[in-house]
């Protein structure tokens, strides 16, 4: 495919129609594109449509005389790409229409040119009518599925609008400086010398936030392991973990390894770090990252709760359980979450989270600490899980997190999406009596 719009439509067809992972499908599509500008435009179209899917889809159905057939899903996605350009990008509307019509050739559907041309031109003419249609539906107005809007309004009555708005925004590019290589101040100077505007993050001592997004390949000394991409909220794991000078640390559900690397970057050689993840593919990404950063650790590809498959019966001073969750706090970075998640997933995930806690707690030394973390803003995956666990385990005591970020909850600390430009994140810390 030569047309960026047809590539975007193809990616969307796999993500929306077949439930594929956005990251994987987009990475595959990029294999044929070396030009960073082409990649950036394709990504803008794909991410934009996914962020605004619940706004664009009802408009498209209103414009079509009859629903498209399932076998024409790629054409439906192409029309959404066209609508997104018209409504959200600076491309002149009729130029966007013409380019989208041309993309029909890549799908071997020249007959569809008239349909695409007519539908998109009609969208331009009926812009006021379409805007009114959006305002009549909370789902379309917020660009979120109804169940998500309902839950966020119920759980965050004072912040729900800010959360939903943040989910639809472009997130900042935040970096973590490898303190074993250089200081944050030194790297800020490197960025300044190359004309890259950046500022130190407020809460993470190794964090840097870029003023404008940038391809990581253009970052100074990225390949040399001087810096990694990681949101500031995720960088706070080290502070909560209270890393000891020596001992043994387990990073459960570790891949792709951002928090693992941060632990190693902040520690001396006297620390033994063990990382485990059940995904061989994701563990491969972790190992690549460790090689780039020049870090060493013990890794296992296994289910962390299946102790017989990996544990050597030696207890840990610290455990970081970055539990599998809904990802509701990182939707702005992974907009396909809006399509892939269902309300019923929360209870299923809670069961998995509790299973991991129950399995890993016996591995902690007396006086040792376990940090439970999720990138979720749903209380059912956070405080509810901790409440049930603490009630069932007399040896578990909540160790309050004193911090000036996020807000205190019954058992931990919660950052909501967009708060101080951070992702949504939850941390709780338990100490073993």
Residue numbers annotated as active site:
375
Which residues touch 114 (CB under 8 Å, ≥6 apart)? none
Distance of alpha carbon 117 from alpha carbon 105, whole angstroms:
13
Tokens of 409: 């909850």
How, if at all, do strands 227-229 and 271-277 pair?
Answer: unpaired
Yes or no: say if 276 and 300 are a contact pair by the CB < 8 Å rule.
yes
- Other Cβ atoms less than 10 A from the Cβ of 266: the count is 17
Cα angle: 415, vertex 364, 407; to 5 degrees:
15
Q: What are the residue ranges of helices labelled H in 89-159?
A: 93-102, 113-125, 127-135, 138-142, 146-155
Q: How far is CA 308 from CA 33, 205, 357, in A?
A: 44, 38, 16
CA atoms within 13 A on the CB side of 114: 1
Please give the structure tokens belonging to residue 200: 């130190």
Coil, helix or strand for 137? coil
Place of tokens 């399932």: 70
């Amino acid at each position: 495919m030569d047309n960026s719009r047809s590539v975007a439509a193809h990616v969307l067809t796999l993500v929306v129609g077949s439930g594929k992972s956005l990251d994987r499908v987009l990475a595959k599509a990029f294999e044929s594109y070396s030009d960073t500008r082409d990649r950036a435009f394709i990504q803008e179209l794909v991410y934009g449509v996914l962020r605004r899917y619940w706004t664009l889809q009802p408009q498209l159905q209103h414009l079509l005389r009859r629903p498209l057939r399932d076998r024409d899903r790629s054409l439906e996605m192409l029309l959404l790409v066209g609508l997104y350009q018209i409504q959200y990008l600076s491309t002149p509307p009729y130029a966007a229409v013409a380019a989208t019509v041309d993309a029909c050739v890549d799908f071997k559907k020249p007959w569809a040119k008239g349909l695409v041309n007519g539908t998109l031109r009609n969208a331009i003419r009926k812009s006021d009518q379409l805007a009114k249609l959006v305002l009549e539906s909370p789902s379309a107005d917020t660009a979120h599925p109804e169940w998500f809007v309902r839950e966020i309004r119920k759980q965050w009555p004072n912040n729900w609008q800010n959360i939903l708005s943040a989910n639809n925004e472009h997130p900042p590019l935040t970096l973590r400086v490898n303190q074993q290589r250089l200081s944050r101040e030194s790297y800020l100077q490197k960025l300044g010398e190359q004309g890259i505007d950046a500022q130190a993050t407020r809460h993470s001592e190794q964090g840097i936030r870029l003023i404008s997004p940038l391809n990581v390949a253009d970052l100074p000394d990225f390949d040399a392991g001087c810096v990694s991409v990681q949101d500031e909220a995720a960088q706070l794991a080290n502070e909560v973990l209270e890393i000891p000078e020596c001992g043994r640390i387990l990073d459960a559900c570790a891949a792709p390894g951002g928090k693992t690397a941060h632990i190693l970057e902040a520690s001396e050689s006297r620390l033994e770090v063990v990382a485990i993840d059940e995904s061989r593919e994701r563990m491969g990404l972790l190992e690549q990252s460790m090689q780039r950063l020049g870090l060493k650790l013990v890794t296992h590809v296994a289910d962390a709760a299946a102790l017989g498959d990996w544990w050597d019966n030696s207890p840990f001073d610290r455990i970081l359980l970055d539990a599998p969750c809904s990802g509701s706090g990182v939707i702005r970075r992974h907009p396909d979450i809006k399509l892939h998640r269902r309300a019923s997933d929360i209870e299923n995930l809670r069961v998995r989270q509790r299973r991991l806690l129950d399995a890993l707690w016996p591995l902690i030394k007396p006086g040792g600490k376990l940090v439970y973390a999720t990138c979720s803003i749903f209380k059912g995956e956070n405080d509810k899980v901790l409440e049930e666990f603490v009630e069932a385990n007399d040896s578990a005591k909540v160790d309050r997190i004193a911090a000036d970020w996020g807000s205190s909850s019954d058992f931990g600390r919660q950052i909501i999406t967009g708060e101080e430009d951070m992702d949504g994140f939850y941390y709780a810390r338990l100490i073993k009596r």
